[in-house]
Chain A
Amino acid sequence: MAHRAQPVIGTTGIVAGGFVVAVVVLSFVGLGLRAEVGRGLGPSEWAAIRFTVVQSAWSAVISVICAIPLARALARRRFWGRGALITLLGAPFILPVIVAVLGLLTVFGRTGWVNEVLGVLGLPGLSIYGLHGVVLAHVFFNLPLATRLLLQGWQSIPAERFRLAAQLDLPPAMIRRTLEYPLLLQVVPGAAALIFVICLTSFAVALTLGGGPRATTIELAIYQAFRFDFDLARASLLSIIQLVLAGSAALIALWIIPDFPLTAGLDRKLRRWDARGGVQRALDTGIIALGSAFLLLPLMAILLAGLQGLPEMPSVVWKTAGNSLGVAVLSIAVLLAIALPMAGWISTRRAGGAEAIGLIGLSASPLMIGTGWFILINPVADPVPLALPVTALINALMALPFALRILVPPLRDVLTTYDRLTRSLGLQGWPAWRWLVLPRLRAQIGFAAGLTGALSVGDLGVIALFADPDRATLPLQMYRLMGAYRTEAAAGAALLLLAMALGLFWICDKGGRWGAEA
């Protein structure tokens, strides 16, 4: 067997992967050091585990079911502002949860816009509180993701096939059978699995919209065990259950998770012969309008409340915004330092199992990782100055699975396409990264960085446990305002948070594309 030189060396990737595992495993070692025998799992914890699985399953199924008609309508209709709408529809996915809940309540709450309208029409109101409220919020967050994945799938159907279908004058039912069902079969299971995993670790959503203790998720039970009983053993046990649950779902899902598409580039000029007029067009228009309303009205609510609150916002909010920005930038740096070598390692392997390592960070409880590290650091150093870096690290780990999904498939593509050329030029190691991988993957790197930055800005994180007055982040500051009766100022802070999350995403994403060619 001839020596096969890899242009991107696997060792750094293995080191990065090992680092991720070590961060999580060591945190459990830390927890183990301090855990005493607690009371174990009671009926309320088992109820939480059951509820978590049930709500995640519903959230995943409904997100995907709603995404199918929306993606189809978007795929076959061309209208002014379509590209902008698609970009905007992606916003809820990177929206900070605490901000989103405020927006959802304004729209769907008991005295919200929807119920006002229903009241005027003399119709009975609807309640957002309960399992369905949790699911509604999760659909709000994940419908954009599901729609993106499906839309990408739809647009991957070659134009020639639609031309053929038009030539044969296939009726809609036949187009569904020949073109759309095979596609759905390919994309839907993976999209649902990914959303299932995301919803498993949900925390904040269930708190307010759950309607009561029956809507307790595992992450909330972890928080209670930690905060109320200081039962580290129970908190760790729950955390491990969550890890195993999410991890095994993820492992199964990894085989079927579709590639994570880029945000833009979805505006390919493509004549759709199956886009008919009449009822079909009216239906598509209705679906797009409904989907947009569902996703954009809460954003508007945040905007309106925030604009009123902005003048009330104390100046300290800006300082905490600076801290949050710092954490986000650090998260992006950490993420890229981990994700790029890992992606390089994974894409040179045939089996995708290694990517599962990336999911550990998402499935493990951030609270428990943070606490574990606090215990480990405390004997040797003061953990407080490390609160921000640790938060940045944990945020980066949460974004890692998405980053890997974004980076691995195109990286694999690049390495295959230029395999012989790189080898004939002896291009490997850092020069291969510098001259081949980084420039080819600019758009994807920008996208992954933007996603990480946005998720990181919005995350309350472990900082709440150990934050010094000077180290508060914007979400924490928002909580402080709410805790001091300053609801209006908090709404202003929420708007700032929203603007920062979207802005960071936009800058990184655009930066990745700017001047990108070929």
Chain B
Amino acid sequence: MRRTLLATTLLATQAGADTSVLTVYAGDYFTSEWGPGPKIEAGFEEICNCDLQFSTGDLLPRLLLEGERTKADVVIGLTSDVTAKARATGLFAPHGQDNAALTLPIDWADDTFLPFNYGHTAFIYNETMMDAPPASFDALLEMDDDVKLVIQDPRTSISGLALVLWVEAVYGDKSADVWAKLAPKILTVTKDWSASYGMFTDGEVDMVLSYTTSPAYHMFAEEDFTKKAAIFPEGHYFMVETVGKIAKTDAPELADAFMAYVLSTDFQQMIPTANWSLPSALPEDQWPEGWAQLPLPEKVLFYSEEEAESRKDQAIETWRTALSQ
């Protein structure tokens, strides 16, 4: 009964709502059985009386290649490093939701891309292997060169880019020196986060560039409490994933309904364990059990889209030069 009622209200104008399809473009990891996709699909279909179909791939290149011909109604998983390019395509419409509902540690004023989860960059270590983890970014730089890190390439990975911006945000003009100090500790640079993290779990490195929420996976999925994020008082770079609505969607009502669903408690409560990240619009007291105890940074660093765009080329070049010595 409830389902029919909701459907009628939400889709008042839509005839034959049973057959209508909402096509959602998502990142490749999204729809695997351990990703958030299946839960989101089930949750939304519960209320929309529609068929939600995920289409996965490399989001931005695919959108850019498809242009106006894109079949997407909604795009989920655009990270903050690509929103500028995504915005420039002109394919997106305002998200139509109230940003005031967000519980992010930063102010979010964007009315096109709606955050649905977040995290921060952090170096993860195994406390059984490392008795004196660095207590600050400065301490990280002063560590013995025998302590080995693995990071990601900022030109191919969002977390790699976030690290470069992180260094930029903490150290500014001194970034080149920071990279010079880090260089001997960096065992290697991988293309993507997965390869780095695999090296860390295999014990090949002492610390890996990852997210503050990474220990949560080990805690809640594996009951392994040895993996910790090193929290630095200098602050951690903020990382967010967003949803956007395609302006020319042929299912605008469904798309709007989906945007609203993203901010719903149902969706938000599912995010932590489905995506191993923090919900964007959920007060801490409603987080799943144990999540509020996760050590999180006091200080959060973030560049606005324009500022990140203007700084990143120089920051990457600084990184590349220092690590190419």
A, B: real partners: yes
| Contact status B34-A213, CB under 8 Å | no
Write out, one digit per residue, whether chain A residues 217-230 have a CB within 8 A of any chain B CB (1) or not (0): 00010011011101
Chain A residues with CB under 8 A of B218? 485
Measured CA separation A228–B154 after assembly (Å): 9
Write out, one digit per residue, whether chain B residues 297-325 have a CB within 8 A of any chain A CB (1) or not (0): 00000000000000000000101100110
Chain B residues with CB under 8 A of A439? none
* 182-233 of chain B: CB within 8 A of chain A: 183, 186-195, 197-199, 201-205, 214, 217-218, 221
- State which of A106, A378, A465, A479 has its C-beta within 8 Å of the C-beta of B194: A479
Verify if B107 is at the interface (C-beta below 8 Å from A).
no
| Contact status A211-B189, CB under 8 Å | yes
| Contact status B65-A211, CB under 8 Å | no
Q: How far is the CB of B13 from chain A (nearest CB, A)?
A: 27
Closest to A484 in B: B34
Measured CA separation A47–B276 after assembly (Å): 38
| Contact status B324-A47, CB under 8 Å | yes
Chain B residues with CB under 8 A of A485? 197, 201, 214, 217-218, 221, 276
| Contact status A110-B148, CB under 8 Å | yes
- Number of residues from A at the complex interface, CB < 8 A: 54
A228-B155, A482-B195 given; A209·B34 CB < 8 A: no
Measured CA separation A105–B148 after assembly (Å): 15
Verify if A468 is at the interface (C-beta below 8 Å from B).
yes
Q: How far is the CB of A383 from chain B (nearest CB, A)?
A: 8
Closest to A225 in B: B155
Instruction: Point out which of B56, B188, B276 has the most chain A C-beta atoms below 10 A from its C-beta.
Output: B188
| Contact status A480-B85, CB under 8 Å | no
- State which of A109, A129, A465, A483 has its C-beta within 8 Å of the C-beta of B29: A483
Verify if A476 is at the interface (C-beta below 8 Å from B).
yes
| Contact status A467-B57, CB under 8 Å | yes
| Contact status B33-A316, CB under 8 Å | yes
Measured CA separation A110–B200 after assembly (Å): 11
Chain B residues with CB under 8 A of A464? 28, 57-58
- State which of A208, A479, A482 has its C-beta within 8 Å of the C-beta of B188: A208
* 477-506 of chain A: CB within 8 A of chain B: 477, 479-487, 490
| Contact status A105-B202, CB under 8 Å | yes
| Contact status A487-B192, CB under 8 Å | no
Verify if B64 is at the interface (C-beta below 8 Å from A).
yes
Chain B residues with CB under 8 A of A378? 65-66, 69
Q: How far is the CB of B7 from chain A (nearest CB, A)?
A: 25
| Contact status A208-B324, CB under 8 Å | no
- State which of A111, A465, A477, A486 has its C-beta within 8 Å of the C-beta of B204: A111
Chain A residues with CB under 8 A of B187? 110, 127, 129, 211
- State which of B64, B153, B192, B317 has its C-beta within 8 Å of the C-beta of A230: B64
* 96-116 of chain A: CB within 8 A of chain B: 102, 105-106, 109-112
Measured CA separation A101–B191 after assembly (Å): 13
| Contact status A469-B69, CB under 8 Å | no
Verify if B55 is at the interface (C-beta below 8 Å from A).
yes
A226-B61, A384-B55, A464-B58 given; A44·B320 CB < 8 A: yes
Measured CA separation A467–B60 after assembly (Å): 14
Chain A residues with CB under 8 A of B204? 105, 109-112
Report the number of A-B residue pairs with Cβ-Cβ less than 8 Å: 142
Chain B residues with CB under 8 A of A109? 199, 202, 204
Measured CA separation A479–B56 after assembly (Å): 14
Chain B residues with CB under 8 A of A226? 61
| Contact status B32-A480, CB under 8 Å | yes
| Contact status B191-A487, CB under 8 Å | no
Q: How far is the CB of A102 from chain B (nearest CB, A)?
A: 8
Write out, one digit per residue, whether chain A residues 195-231 have a CB within 8 A of any chain B CB (1) or not (0): 0000000000001111111100000100110111010
Verify if B264 is at the interface (C-beta below 8 Å from A).
no
Measured CA separation A287–B195 after assembly (Å): 33
Verify if B39 is at the interface (C-beta below 8 Å from A).
no
- Number of residues from B at the complex interface, CB < 8 A: 55
Verify if A375 is at the interface (C-beta below 8 Å from B).
yes
| Contact status A374-B194, CB under 8 Å | no
Chain A residues with CB under 8 A of B199? 105, 109, 208
| Contact status B191-A213, CB under 8 Å | no
| Contact status A210-B189, CB under 8 Å | yes
Q: How far is the CB of A369 from chain B (nearest CB, A)?
A: 14
Chain B residues with CB under 8 A of A469? 31-32, 37, 54-56
A224-B156, A465-B58, A482-B194 given; A213·B201 CB < 8 A: no
Write out, one digit per residue, whether chain A residues 225-239 have a CB within 8 A of any chain B CB (1) or not (0): 011101000000000
Chain B residues with CB under 8 A of A112? 204
Chain A residues with CB under 8 A of B134? none
Chain A residues with CB under 8 A of B198? 102, 482, 487, 490
Write out, one digit per residue, whether chain A residues 362-375 have a CB within 8 A of any chain B CB (1) or not (0): 00000000010011
- State which of B32, B156, B189, B320 has its C-beta within 8 Å of the C-beta of A484: B32
Closest to A30 in B: B65
Measured CA separation A510–B323 after assembly (Å): 49
Measured CA separation A109–B28 after assembly (Å): 29
A208-B188, A371-B65, A466-B62 given; A213·B319 CB < 8 A: yes
| Contact status B189-A212, CB under 8 Å | yes
Verify if B252 is at the interface (C-beta below 8 Å from A).
no
Chain A residues with CB under 8 A of B37? 469
- State which of B58, B71, B188, B319 has its C-beta within 8 Å of the C-beta of A129: B188
Verify if A382 is at the interface (C-beta below 8 Å from B).
yes
Measured CA separation A207–B317 after assembly (Å): 18
Instruction: Point out which of A208, A220, A228 has the most chain B C-beta atoms below 10 A from its C-beta.
Output: A228
Closest to A314 in B: B33
Known: A211-B188, A487-B197. 9 other contacts (CB 8 A): A102-B198, A208-B188, A211-B189, A227-B61, A228-B155, A384-B57, A468-B55, A469-B56, A482-B194
List 8 contacting pairs A-B, 8 Å CB cutoff, sorted by A: A105-B199, A378-B69, A379-B69, A465-B61, A466-B57, A476-B28, A484-B29, A485-B218
10 nearest A-B residue pairs (beta carbon): A482-B194, A214-B324, A224-B155, A469-B31, A483-B194, A207-B191, A212-B323, A213-B320, A466-B57, A129-B188
Binding site for A on B (CB under 8 A): 28-29, 31-35, 37, 54-58, 60-62, 64-66, 69, 71, 85, 148, 153, 155-156, 183, 186-195, 197-199, 201-205, 214, 217-218, 221, 276, 317, 319-320, 323-324
